Amino acid sequence: MDSTQVTWHAHAVVRPRGCVVWFTGLSGCGKSTVANLVDQKLHELGCGSFVLDGDNIRHGLNASPAMLAETFDDAFAQRFGLGFSALDRAENIRRIACVAELFCEAGVVALTAFVSPYREDREAARAAIERQGEEGDFIEVFVDTPLEICEQRDPKGLYKQARAGKLPGFTGIDAPYEAPASAEIHLAAGEKSPPALADEVIAYLRSQGKIR
């Protein structure tokens, strides 16, 4: 079977669409922390939401070749496992954009917390999500924390390893991070507390009619 034999089937139930809130920023910038606080606030408001966290996704859907090799043969693991090369990062973001779009179709606010360092990949995610819905379904949130603060936090010890040359290709050290040129929400994360940043996101969602 090839692609010409795959047919799109329309859903019998038409639901109000949710949206995708795409948190991007350096490792340690606070993406997951803020996303989870927003999730908590949305839950308290009675809004359906779910956090798609970069680390959590790497334990399943986008597992590494080494993790897949624990269950599958080497050929399978190498073909479908993802590392951290630019190409693997692109596929990581493509897959999660597809998953986030499904949440959006189900009327859920999908909160994604991924470094997603390349503008091209984030714009591809935006295009894929808005192609199925409409402009405004994809909300980019730049969690703008200076590199020096991220390094001071270093909750997983990754920056220390990268500086020691033990973690090549690490974003912000020897691999680039391309900051958003015009994110819908720009969080000055080095200056404000996580709860205050979460309130900014909630205020934006309310102003755009995404939540009440």
d(C-alpha 160, C-alpha 176), whole Å: 17
Provide the CATH number for the domain formed by 16-207 in this structure. Answer: 3.40.50.300
| CB contact at 8 A, 5 and 96 | no
Q: What is the pLDDT of residue 2?
A: 74
Out of 27, 32, 49, 116, the active site residue is 116
| CB contact at 8 A, 47 and 53 | no
Q: What is the mean pLDDT of residues 59-85?
A: 97
Q: In degrees to the nearest 10, what's the CA dihedral of 84, 90, 93, 94?
A: -140
More confident residue, 25 or 134: 25
b/e code 138-168 from CB counts within 10 Å (16+ = b): bbbbbbbbebebbbeebeeebbeebeeeebe
d(C-alpha 122, C-alpha 142), whole Å: 11
> How many secondary structure helices (H) and strands (E) does the chain include?
9, 5
Q: Evaluate if residue 204 carries a pLDDT over 80.
A: yes
Q: In degrees to the nearest 10, what's the CA dihedral of 91, 21, 14, 206?
A: -170
Structure tokens at 99: 């998953």
Closest CA to 201 of 38, 16, 63, 25: 38
The model's pLDDT over 14-58, given as tens digits with 9 standing for 90+, comes to 889 999 999 999 999 999 999 999 999 999 999 999 999 999 999
The model's pLDDT over 149-164, given as tens digits with 9 standing for 90+, comes to 999 999 999 999 999 9
| Domain chopping of the chain, boundaries | 16-207
Q: What is the pLDDT of residue 5?
A: 84
Q: 69 pLDDT band (50/70/90 cuts)?
A: very high
H helices of 5-111, in order, are 31-44, 54-57, 65-68, 74-80, 86-105
Q: What is the pLDDT of residue 8?
A: 84
Mapped onto helix, strand or coil, the DSSP state of residue 203 is helix
- Whether 3 is catalytic is no
| CB contact at 8 A, 194 and 37 | yes
Q: Evaluate if residue 98 carries a pLDDT over 70.
A: yes
Q: 1 pLDDT band (50/70/90 cuts)?
A: low
Q: What is the pLDDT of residue 4?
A: 77
Q: What is the pLDDT of residue 141?
A: 98
